[in-house]
Structure 1
Amino acid sequence: NLATRITSYSGGSAIYNVAGNNSATLPSATLTSATSFGSDAGLLTLAGNITSNSFAVSLLGNGGDITLTGATFSGGNSAFNVTMTGGTATIANNLTTGTSSVVVGGTGTAIFNGNVTSTSTGNGVAVSGSGVNTFNGTVSTSGGVAGSISINTTGGTTTFANNVTINSTGTLTIAGSGTTVFNGSGKTVTTNGGAISISGAAVTTFDSAVNSGSGTWTVSGSGNTTLNGAINSGAGTWAVSGTGNTTVNGAITGSGTLTKTGSGALTLAATNSNYSGAITFNTSSTNIGTILATANNALGTGAVAATYQTGATGLQVQLSGGITLGNAFTTTGAGAAGGISGIIRSVAGANILTGNVTLTGGGGSSTYRADSGTSLAFNGNIGADSNAGRYIILVGAGDFSFGSAGSIVQTLTTGGTTGLWSTNTGTTTINSTANTYTQVTAIGAGNTVLVVNLSNGGVAGSLGMAAATATNLLIDGGTLKYSGSGAQSTDRLFSIGSATNGGGGAILDASGATSGDTMSFVGAGSLGFNGISGAGTSAAETGARTLTLTGTNTGANTLTSVIGDQAATTGVTSVTKTGAGTWVLLGANDYTGLTTISAGTLQIGSGTTGTLGSGAVTNNATLSFGRTNSSTVANAIS
């Protein structure tokens, strides 16, 4: 033993180990000045209790190890410093530093097996350097407003394996570029209203629960943050920014707002039914990351506002796992651009929104995406606020649906107008029969819009209540399908797009369940030639086009509107009949393109109306004539 009866010490280094394994017993040592214990090599073991009255105690390792095996370090108002350059410092003592701090640095290892208590008005615990540091006991600070815990490391890992408590409104600050882990099983990090700030390149994981009270959360920088334990954030607000990713696997309880900016992703993976705060997702002209929701009510029960500014990229609320969200959404702008566009996006599973969705901003659109093999259902009302010209743009290879419990409405406030642009290549099912929107409905290439009813222009129905003019219903390479029960008819005209802007043609699919469940277009006038020229925009299109009549219904599905050409020679219209069902042409048709009957029955006329176009006819199924008066058919028929 180097010392066995040290009871007091004054000045400088008390014991310094230069080689070998040595020990000293300090039965009840009282330090009367700043004191250091060091080890250059080997192991220095210090046994006994240490008391210091306002004088700092330092453990210094330069390749050697130091172990304190006593029960307590009573510091009065004395700092306890551990700086290990290589080597390991193991402190079994419970540390009480009064109004001073526990300060850890260096590149070595520090292990605190006892409890750490500080009433410092600064940082009660401050960790720096790039070492490996472990706090196995409880850590508690209570120094008023400034009584904080600071982790600002340049590497290594700092681990808290027990309860961590800031008994004041001090701040838990994690910065630098090291790793910090709170991994106490069944333990809690409590800040009692103090702020939690995570910045820099710090990588932070909370396996412990977190009780932050009304304190604010600020998560920024380039490091990733993961919260696996439950979080009680009270009325405290959240600000998530920077380029790092934040993953919240634990359930959140609280009412404070959450604001997401920056290019990092935010994942909310728990059922947050007890979180009622509003979520704001805002971007400027810079890139912004996504919010990914992977559980029912992952976004809580509050309102969600997603605002996309011109020139930004990446803004997107992503849904995954077949989840249901009950939030009321407000969407402004198109959202993420390019091949992953959309302000709300279904990335996996059949996902459902049951709250209302309000499109704000006026004069533009909000884009919603469903990826291949996924679906997105709007079961609440969706429509514009008080601004005019808001379009619902549907994109992606997946499916969409609008539930019978909700409607696509003209406006969720007053004065706005809404339109529907269904340009995804999956199926869009409109189950509502009371949609009141008055802007254009567009069906894009590869898309099928499945409706449960047809109504006249100006009357609420599956396709809204726009006027009956052909420019208000565009079918540009897509399909309008009816497969419900009951005969449905509409006086609405429609436009057939050409291939000018990548679409082309129109398909009417009559697949009602029984022969009486027919669809009929009874509008007086001619079909139009507008097509989709962009998101929420349309234009007259030149070029040839084909109207395809199909379906399985064998009743009298009728088209009274006149089928004509857009232009002679270069803008001719052709008609193709496919499917096992029956279609009846009742208009004074003057199209000059081909008529091709590949399956089922194409009937020309009924009573005294209905003509065939003047082009050649290829009949590989059934061509019938239903007029009761005399008529002349001069077409070449083969």
Structure 2
Amino acid sequence: MFRARAGDNYSVVLAAMLLLGTTFTSVGAQTLSFGPTGAGGSGSWDNTTVNWFNGSTAVPWASGNTAAFGGTAGTVTVNGTVAMGGATFNTNGYGITGGTLTLSGNTPTITTNAGISATINSVITGSTLVKTGTGTLTIGNATNTYTGGTTVSQGTLVFGGNQALGSGTVTLGDANTRASNVSLLANFGNFFSAQKIANNIVVSGSGTGAVTIGSTSFNPGSNGTIFTGIMTLNRDATLLSGNTDRTTFTGKITGTGNITIAGSRVTLDNSTNDFLGNVTISAGSILQTNAANVLPRTATLTILGNGVLRFVNTGDQTIDGLNGSSNAVITFLAGGRPNLTVGAANGSGNFAGPIQNVISSFTKLGAGTQILSGANTYAGRTTISGGVLSTQLLANGGAASGIGASSSAAANLVLDGGTLRYTGTGASTDRQFTLATNGGGIDASGSGALNFTSTAAVALGSTSPRTLTLTGISSAANTLAAPLGDSGGPTSLVKAGTGRWVLSGNNSYTGSTTISAGTLTLSGAGSIASSARVIADGTFDLSGVAAASSSIKSLAGSGSATLGPKMLVITAANDTFSGGISGSGGLAITGGTQTLTGTSTYTGDTAISAGTLQVGDGGMRGSIIGNVANDGILAFNRSDTSTFGGSISGSGSIRQIGSGLTNLTGDSSGFTGVTSVESGSLSVNGSLCGDMNVLAGGRLQGTGFVCTTSNAGVVAPGNSLGTLTVNGNYTGNAGLLEIESVIGGDASPSDRLVVTGNTAGSSRLKVVNLGGVGARTVEGIKVIDVRGTSNGTFTLSGDYALQGQQVIVAGAYGYTLQQNGISTPTDGDWYLRSSLATAPAGPDSPTSPVSFGPLYQPGVPLFETYAQVLLGLNGVSTLEQRVGTRAWSPDTAPAAATAREGLWGRIEGSRQVFEPSRTTSGANYESDQLKLQMGLDSVVVENGNGKLVAGLTAQYGTVSADVTSRFGGGKIDTDGYGVGGTLTWYGHNGFYADGQAQAIRFDSDIASTLIGRTVASGNDGSGYALSGETGQRLGLGAGWSMTPQAQLAYSAVDFDGFTDFFGARVTSSDGDSLKGRLGLSADFESAGETGRSKVYGIANLYYEFLDGTAASVAGVTFANANDRLWAGIGAGGSYSWSGDKYALYGEVSVNTSLAHVGDSYSLGGTGGFRMTW
């Protein structure tokens, strides 16, 4: 045995007492074990009897000590008043009775350890009572007066009277609770009046074990236990009722915890309960509601097994959700039947048990889904004001169903913002319903069809607008036979979900019909003709109506419309439908404007008696097939190419208003109305009668037949090349006739406009050349065939104008538009000819202009003369012109030795005027030419007979030529850069021989003055020339001599091929010349003190041996040749000084053609300077 020292604050436990199960603790006071040796048993407890063991000896009780009860259980009798700081029961079965126990100290704690039960029937006074340990403590005195409240930290506290818990709050759970279960249970005797417990109860948020509040068993005569205090749930709790009677909670229940009902019958009696948790009724238990709304609106009620929800006193209940198994029971005990409302906080539930005829009405609120799968027999109204009420059982009125067994009257089923969902295997019901202000829905999502068979009209709950939504996933023929109408405000209908609904009633509602998904079918007498519009994003099926047609006002959406063999009549259209219309039936428009932008495949006719049917909305979709009877307006409005192959009849209007092309291929010759081509293109490749008006922004084309036509826009026969026939008159209103043609000869493929009637007004004609290279025409290319009176005027939109006539270009040729044929001069037709038209020569001439030809494009004269201009710049000079006099007569020869090297330079200018003897295009030209040339000479051989001088030359030349022709003139500007070589023999006997060779590169710009454009820029060319010249000086004495001479020069030029402004390919065909010259000069030489001089006069004959030049333009050759024989005279001179070291020389000349003297001529002059060393 061990002894505690004085002042120790910890337990002293003897080994022997441990064996007896006795423990004691000292916290500022002693823990004493009951019994003189601590062995327990029965006995007295007072302040004088030595009946307590302190661990070493028996002692009397002292106030504030803690009692430990172990060993053998017994009855401990309190004598008088005993103050204790706490008690611990370690042995089961102790009972404390008699006297008064005063709880003292800071926190008096009574502990019943695991498996231990103890009872205190003494009066308890003092401060707070704390129950710890997992065992059970029963306090049975009904007059306890302790005031500090009660805390059940662990285990079970059973009390036996309405005052047993003192006057404070009962707290269930604290920081020491942890996983321990905590219970507070009443266990009263056979009281015939109810026992009321006024203490407030707080369920602490501490701990994780179960919390139970309620009662144990009762005697049969007891009226139960009533908790009247406020109960605060900070975590879940179980409300428990004894097996034979009820436990009632009349105090307010608040907090966040959930409630489980267990035991026999638990009654809730406070309408202000606002706890946030849910309620579960255990199997076999009863939850009785004695007042309205004792269950909070936010609570979901779950009934497990055969649990029971019992209503008493007409206590309406509003909860969030209702769950329960198939044997769950809802019933009532007394009073009127209450109203039951679920879904108040948007919750959901699934209740499989029956709701018997125990409620007055059932209401579904909120956004959640409440499932009622039992055969409910309540006879009151079912109202669905939010979310979904779902059932698998529907039946006729009076029979059990998911919505009760009320009669079929419309007042017993109210849709006011919610949806009734059916999930069964198929049902037919005569139940009517009321559609209230907030509208509602019916959801068919079962495996079989749902049929509302009543033909009585749907009742409407107010005069405000409302919407009925038919939805679900069932593809069966779910049917609503009840007609839907208006009441003050309009009613609308929405078909949602992927399933199918059938309307068989004659509906009169005027709101919209929206098919957002699935299929809405009209069957039998079903009609929605009064609905403002149908928005079909799902399928609208009218194939089952009994009549031949079905009417709607307007059609919108992107889904589909299924006609079957029926006619869909649209009476007041104002919408666009982007879906497709299918079936063998047809479409009728009787008013408004209906736009179709989808692909419709219905094969029946389309009838437009009034209003407009518009195909497309400016995009790339929208089509119909079949024939159209058009007495209203048929409009085509697409931005791409589309085809309509049906026929069009009637007296209405056709409008082409889209920016794309509409291709009409059917026979619409029976149409008598008006067609307006306002925008885009209308291509008629079948026939279309009535008046055709092509407006300023429109285009008519095709290879078909139209009738009387007025053109203020564009008429373009063919679809590339083809004939458009106007079976009637054609009037030009400043419009354009566009012709595509492979422009060439008379037989060229070409568009043609055929007018079987008369022409009038004025039109412009534009020709689009499809790769034609031009050719000479005789009759011309017929582009307009007029079979009536040809009074209309057609003005060609040309590339340029010539002699007041518009001309277009194809290859080398120009074409004009001319009326009347050559062989049929009065036919009134219009032709493209490669010629100009001339006015009649006199009264005996044809009444129409005649043509002469051919007509060449304005670049041709320039291209023809181009090589001639280059030849002029490539020409070579004579020896005298190049270097002056280097061989003097003996009379004036210097005494000094001949210089061996020389450097010279000269400038040459000329003006030339040519009237060629042969020119394809009648081209004349004149040029101004300038050359700069320099050379370096060197004597390479010198002997007694003479000397041989070799030289190198370089030159720059420029020429500007003006070309004239009746086809158009222009200018050729060329620069040339060249190099060359010379070799000259000077004989001492006066004989000389000279050879020249040169090569040159050209850069040219060619511009047409007629069209005001450059037709070739920076064109490159090249040339070379070879020349041989010889002569003999014959002395006459006294300084005079004569020199007969001869020269032969070959020159060749070429230029790079190019494409001109009009697209014609231009190449050089021939560009060489072989020209001979015979000349005789008369010379006079004289010598002075410082130098000597020479003057001469010369006469020349020139002859061209070759046939001139030629160029190819688009495969057509154009030749140009000047006169062959020319003559010329010239005069010149040389002056040298300083022993011939320096010299000046020059010559002027005039040449002329002997065939056209004075018409073809040239004037030229050259001057140079030479130095030798």
- Which range, TM-score by smaller chain? 0.5 to 0.7
Confirm whether residue 259 of structure 1 aligns to residue 214 of structure 2. no
1:442 to 383, 386, 399: 383
Do 2:303 and 2:328's aligned partners in 1 also have CA atoms closer than 8 Å? no
User: Do the aligned partners of residues 477 and 174 (structure 1) sit closer, same or farther apart at CA in structure 2, a change above 3 Å counting?
Assistant: farther
TM-score normalized by the length of structure 2: 0.38
2:533 to 579, 591, 616: 616
Deviation track 1:279-322 (CA, whole Å, cap 9, x = no partner) reads: 21225xxx444796666xx521x12222235xx444899436xx
User: Do the aligned partners of residues 117 and 469 (structure 1) sit closer, same or farther apart at CA in structure 2, a change above 3 Å counting?
Assistant: closer
2:246 to 247, 255, 278: 278
2:131 to 181, 190, 200: 181
Confirm whether residue 432 of structure 1 aligns to residue 374 of structure 2. yes
Letter of the 1:359 partner, please give it: F
Structure 1 Cα separation of the partners of residues 381 and 495 of structure 2? 27
**Of 381-390 and 458-467, the range deviating more from structure 2:** 381-390
Deviation track 1:442-482 (CA, whole Å, cap 9, x = no partner) reads: 1122x211111211222222211222222221111111111
The number of residues matched between the two structures is: 509
Deviation at 1:149, TM superposition (A): 3.7
Deviation at 1:630, TM superposition (A): 3.5
Deviation at 1:271, TM superposition (A): 10
Deviation track 1:526-572 (CA, whole Å, cap 9, x = no partner) reads: 21233xxxxxxxxxx342111111111111101111211121xxx11
Do 1:118 and 1:141's aligned partners in 2 also have CA atoms closer than 8 Å? yes
Structure 1 Cα separation of the partners of residues 68 and 505 of structure 2? 90
- State the SS of the aligned residue for 1:471: helix
2:55 to 92, 116, 139: 92
Confirm whether residue 242 of structure 1 aligns to residue 190 of structure 2. no
Structure 2 Cα separation of the partners of residues 550 and 304 of structure 1? 42
Deviation track 1:126-169 (CA, whole Å, cap 9, x = no partner) reads: 34xxxx6564767998786x445443x573343436667448xx
Do 1:553 and 1:580's aligned partners in 2 also have CA atoms closer than 8 Å? yes
TM-score normalized by the length of structure 1: 0.66
The equivalent residue for 1:488 is: 427
User: Do the aligned partners of residues 462 and 111 (structure 1) sit closer, same or farther apart at CA in structure 2, a change above 3 Å counting?
Assistant: closer
Structure 2 Cα separation of the partners of residues 463 and 275 of structure 1? 35
1:573 to 491, 503, 507: 491
The equivalent residue for 2:445 is: 511
Do 1:221 and 1:244's aligned partners in 2 also have CA atoms closer than 8 Å? no
Letter of the 1:591 partner, please give it: Y
- State the SS of the aligned residue for 2:551: coil
Deviation track 1:492-525 (CA, whole Å, cap 9, x = no partner) reads: 2212232xxxxx2211111112xxx011111232
1:586 to 497, 504, 513: 504
Letter of the 2:413 partner, please give it: L
Do 2:35 and 2:53's aligned partners in 1 also have CA atoms closer than 8 Å? no
Tell me which protein shows more strand as a share of its residues.
2
Structure 1 Cα separation of the partners of residues 456 and 266 of structure 2? 45
Deviation track 1:218-262 (CA, whole Å, cap 9, x = no partner) reads: 446324135947889666487544333158747975236332222
User: Do the aligned partners of residues 77 and 255 (structure 1) sit closer, same or farther apart at CA in structure 2, a change above 3 Å counting?
Assistant: closer
Deviation at 1:274, TM superposition (A): 7.7
User: Do the aligned partners of residues 138 and 426 (structure 1) sit closer, same or farther apart at CA in structure 2, a change above 3 Å counting?
Assistant: same
Matches within 5 A, 1:17-32: none
User: Do the aligned partners of residues 511 and 277 (structure 1) sit closer, same or farther apart at CA in structure 2, a change above 3 Å counting?
Assistant: same
1:400 to 322, 342, 349: 349
The equivalent residue for 1:28 is: none
Deviation track 1:181-227 (CA, whole Å, cap 9, x = no partner) reads: 332x6x55356x65595864424226356677x76684463241359
Structure 1 Cα separation of the partners of residues 186 and 335 of structure 2? 36
Compare relative contact order (CA 8 Å, sep 6+) and give the higher one, 1 or 2.
1
Structure 2 Cα separation of the partners of residues 260 and 378 of structure 1? 32
Deviation track 1:334-357 (CA, whole Å, cap 9, x = no partner) reads: 3258xx536xx338xx66363332
Confirm whether residue 391 of structure 1 aligns to residue 343 of structure 2. no
2:168 to 201, 214, 221: 221
User: Do the aligned partners of residues 455 and 329 (structure 1) sit closer, same or farther apart at CA in structure 2, a change above 3 Å counting?
Assistant: same
Matches within 5 A, 1:549-564: 549-564=470-485
Confirm whether residue 306 of structure 1 aligns to residue 268 of structure 2. yes
Do 1:96 and 1:117's aligned partners in 2 also have CA atoms closer than 8 Å? no
The equivalent residue for 1:629 is: 547
Structure 2 Cα separation of the partners of residues 69 and 360 of structure 1? 54
User: Do the aligned partners of residues 600 and 209 (structure 1) sit closer, same or farther apart at CA in structure 2, a change above 3 Å counting?
Assistant: closer
Do 1:92 and 1:113's aligned partners in 2 also have CA atoms closer than 8 Å? no
User: Do the aligned partners of residues 69 and 593 (structure 1) sit closer, same or farther apart at CA in structure 2, a change above 3 Å counting?
Assistant: closer
Letter of the 1:604 partner, please give it: L
Structure 2 Cα separation of the partners of residues 589 and 261 of structure 1? 59
User: Do the aligned partners of residues 165 and 431 (structure 1) sit closer, same or farther apart at CA in structure 2, a change above 3 Å counting?
Assistant: closer
Do 1:70 and 1:93's aligned partners in 2 also have CA atoms closer than 8 Å? no
The equivalent residue for 1:462 is: 402
Structure 2 Cα separation of the partners of residues 292 and 122 of structure 1? 43
The equivalent residue for 1:544 is: 465
Structure 1 Cα separation of the partners of residues 32 and 123 of structure 2? 27
Matches within 5 A, 1:299-448: 299-300=262-263, 302-308=264-270, 312-314=272-274, 318-319=278-279, 324-335=282-293, 340-341=296-297, 345-346=299-300, 352=304, 354-362=306-314, 365-370=316-321, 379-385=327-333, 387-388=335-336, 390-394=338-342, 395-403=344-352, 406-411=353-358, 418-433=360-375, 435-445=376-386, 447-448=387-388
Deviation at 1:22, TM superposition (A): 11
Letter of the 1:173 partner, please give it: I
1:599 to 502, 511, 517: 517
Structure 1 Cα separation of the partners of residues 285 and 33 of structure 2? 55
**Of 325-334 and 226-235, the range deviating more from structure 2:** 226-235
- State the SS of the aligned residue for 1:604: strand
Deviation at 1:71, TM superposition (A): 8.5
Query: What 5-or-longer segments of structure 1 have no aligned partner?
Result: 1-20, 24-38, 47-60, 82-88, 412-416, 499-503, 531-540
Deviation track 1:108-136 (CA, whole Å, cap 9, x = no partner) reads: xx45557698523544x434xxxx65647
Do 1:330 and 1:357's aligned partners in 2 also have CA atoms closer than 8 Å? yes
